[in-house]
Amino acid sequence: MNDAPDRILRLKAVLERTGLSRSTLYRKMQNGTFPKNVQISIRCAGWRESAVSEWLKNPTFYSITAGE
């Protein structure tokens, strides 16, 4: 078990890691085929690094229900 806290990745880092465009990333989030972002503050959101890594393992068959 990993006791290290899960890092929060900002949009730029997520786009670099996944190779997706911004519009594709948000469309996939809406369809439930990419992890949802988490609110960090009022105008700031990010993605859990573990959720993005899980998506990268098998992006074709990822679904929100399987990722949680």
Average pLDDT over the chain, rounded to an integer? 90
What is the number of alpha carbons within 13 Å of residue 45 lying toward its C-beta? 6
Using the predicted structure, report yes or no on whether residue 4 has a pLDDT greater than 80.
no
Mean pLDDT calculated for residue range 5-33: 96
26, exposed or middle or buried, with CB in 10 Å at 0-12, 13-18, 19+?
A: middle
Q: What pLDDT shows up at residue 67?
A: 47
Inter-residue contact 40 to 8 (CB < 8 Å): yes
Count how many Cα atoms sit within 13 Å of the Cα of residue 59 in the half-sphere of its side chain. Answer: 12
